[in-house]
Structure 1
Amino acid sequence: MELSEIDLNLLLLFQRLMQERRVASVAEQMNMSQPGVSNALAKLRRRLGDPLFVRAPGGVVPTPYALRLSEPVSQALATLHAALNPMTGFDPLRASRTITIGMTDIGEVVFLPALVERLSREAPGVALNTVRNTRVNLGNEMADGRVDLAIGLLPQLKGGFYQRRLFDQRYVCLYRQGHPLDDAPMTLAGWREAEHLVVVSAGTGHGQVDEWLKRRGVRRRVRLTVPHFMSVGYILQRTDLIATVPERLALQLAPLFSLSMCALPVALPSAPIHLLWHERVQQDEGNRWLRGVVIDLFADTASHVRKSASAKKK
């Protein structure tokens, strides 16, 4: 027998008869007449080929076949009811799930320590997983549910995404303590003549800053180029190289590697850093809770949530 041959209402009536064992009680609960209950039961008997219930003093009693059906039917209806009526609210202390966030290596340094510390206190059963923004098709991964949130400068995420600006990323100059440039205010000439460590990070906000410098003819003496930020602190600590890095990264690296930081002698555009999520998880309680944690930890108070212009046209 195919499920399409069974009316769900007949299974609900069957469950109620198993519980009440009286046609009159089931008719009242289901807002039906007693003849209506009898007709529905007759239809179910024909479908299943069994009497299901027989008359007895004070009501009806189930047949052996009905007794075998009772538990699986009740479980199936309970599962369907739970799926159609999810529990409201999200209890972080009891939650057990893994949340995947798309971010850069800078993001891992800037965001993860405080975020993991907060989750260990408030949501000990929630585990985090990160993926590189530049190594996956982030839009598809988020639309398909494999990535829950993303943090960064991500102009490619347009239609179907919500975003909340966290802050504007400024850039500073970073170098070792005791560097020759450490004794006087940084000048444009000194910055140009110093030997630079440059991170080539195409597809990120920092990569756009490097392109901005090139377009305006701002030249540097590049001694070393690396593809990521993870080695910057180690290299600057033991050389006279300087690096132009995001301010929040510099604040993390400076005390760990005995580095100094100062304002740049050139006016670089700031990079807006956003928290983004797909519209499919806009109403998800767990996702909403984690978004609130990220905003509480890292957002400037002036920022707000908005949906991309492309998404509004959908």
Structure 2
Amino acid sequence: MAGLRDVDLNLLLLFQHLLEDRNISSVARRLDLSQPAVSNALRRLRQAFGDELFVRTAQGMQPTPRAQRLAAPVSEALALLAGALQDQDAFAPAASTRRFRVAMTDVGEIHFMPRLIEVCAQVAPQARIDSVRMQGAELAREMEAGRVDLAIGAFDDMGAGVMQRMLFRQGYATLFRQAHPTAHAGMGLKAFRAERHLIVSRAAPYGQVNQSMERAGLDMAEHFSVPHFSAVPYIVSTTNLLATVPEKLAASAAPPFGLRFLTPPLKVPALQTNMYWQRRYDRDGGNLWLRGLIVDAFAVGR
């Protein structure tokens, strides 16, 4: 079994990069080393731990069970050390070329990404933000490994070591086209049930509105459906369908698509949107900057 004197810091950095990239050529480029040098360092790692650690497959260098057990403690130790060595104020947005990865849903992308892109262009023109679509155990693993910087939305099962801050709460609104013959603000439940609806079938974590519609007597099987929110305004603007969506989506989609919206005659719990990040990146300068940017742009009552 490896002791501290058997493994130098550079080998642990290589271990971390292999976990992230699963490709020796990619790791060599990141560390500015030759491929033979990376292969030699991997050999030393294997000798130190008495395990293959990474096995070459068609899907890249896949970690062994031993490497998977080492992943979290090694990643946490490196992050803590980096935080100790780096002044947290050293992150300079104007000069940074960092690429941040933020997990959000499709409705989150519609609400958050335009403003984030606009602010980045103003204060961090070389930085980039990539939205990624994942949740549950996969998201928890990616955040723990440092491959996802933040998550924004209403996520469950975030795992241990995750911190969070509430950004805002919102209700739901029902979209309809301006020339709709019967939909109107203040319509009652009986009239609402009689309309044709567009259901977002894979609305997690927003599925509570579908449950509320079922409880109100709508047979979901009788209505049209799409798997995601992004297509909703396009469809509603050219049909007589009603679509019940989060309030902020309705407010942003209504003007460009010529839509109106009403408060649905349903009892639906308010939807809370949070920002999540891994505890060990709490003091990371770039993570701190991005969290502050998001709070300034979106948090209510900050």
* Same fold (TM > 0.5): yes
1:288 matched to which residue of 2? 288
2:164 matched to which residue of 1? 163
Aligned-residue offset at 1:292:
0.6
2:154 matched to which residue of 1? 153
1:234 matched to which residue of 2? 234
Query: What amino acid does structure 2 have at the position aligned with 1:272?
Result: Q
Q: Is the 8 A contact 2:174 2:261 kept in 1?
A: yes
Query: What amino acid does structure 1 have at the position aligned with 2:283?
Result: Q
Query: What amino acid does structure 2 have at the position aligned with 1:185?
Result: G
1:219 matched to which residue of 2? 218
2:109 matched to which residue of 1? 108
Aligned-residue offset at 1:257:
0.8
Matches of 1:175 and 1:190 in 2, distance apart?
Answer: 14
Q: Per-residue CA shift, 1:122-178, capped at 9, x if unaligned?
A: 111211111113497100000001100000111211421110011112101101001
Q: Is the 8 A contact 1:99 1:127 kept in 2?
A: yes
Instruction: Describe how 1:68-217 pairs up with structure 2 within 5 A.
Output: 85-89=85-89, 90-134=91-135, 137-183=138-184, 185-202=186-203, 204-214=204-214, 216-217=215-216
Q: 1:84/1:280 Cα in 2 relative to 1: closer, same or farther (>3 Å)?
A: closer
- Considering only aligned residues, what root-mean-square deviation do their CA atoms show, in Å? 2.4
Matches of 1:82 and 1:299 in 2, distance apart?
Answer: 29
Aligned-residue offset at 1:280:
1.7
Q: Secondary structure at the match of 1:249?
A: helix
Aligned-residue offset at 1:196:
0.3
Aligned residues between the structures: 223
Aligned-residue offset at 1:182:
4.1
Q: Is the 8 A contact 1:174 1:242 kept in 2?
A: yes
Larger Cα-atom Rg:
1
Structure 1 window deviating more from structure 2 (135-144 vs 145-154): it is: 135-144
Task: Flag structure 1 segments of 5+ consecutive residues without an equivalent.
Answer: 6-80, 303-314
Q: Is the 8 A contact 1:196 1:220 kept in 2?
A: no
Q: Secondary structure at the match of 1:244?
A: strand
2:255 matched to which residue of 1? 255
Instruction: Describe how 1:2-41 pairs up with structure 2 within 5 A.
Output: none
Q: Per-residue CA shift, 1:9-59, capped at 9, x if unaligned?
A: xxxxxxxxxxxxxxxxxxxxxxxxxxxxxxxxxxxxxxxxxxxxxxxxxxx
Aligned-residue offset at 1:234:
1.0
Matches of 1:82 and 1:98 in 2, distance apart?
Answer: 18
Query: What amino acid does structure 1 have at the position aligned with 2:173?
Result: V
The TM-score, its normalising length taken from structure 1, stands at 0.66
Matches of 2:146 and 2:86 in 1, distance apart?
Answer: 18
Query: What amino acid does structure 1 have at the position aligned with 2:282?
Result: Q
Q: Secondary structure at the match of 1:150?
A: strand
Q: 1:195/1:82 Cα in 2 relative to 1: closer, same or farther (>3 Å)?
A: closer
Matches of 1:143 and 1:83 in 2, distance apart?
Answer: 16
2:268 matched to which residue of 1? 268
Task: Flag structure 2 segments of 5+ consecutive residues without an equivalent.
Answer: 7-80
The TM-score, its normalising length taken from structure 2, stands at 0.69
Identity %: 39
Q: Per-residue CA shift, 1:171-218, capped at 9, x if unaligned?
A: 01101001123456321111100000000125x22123323443x353
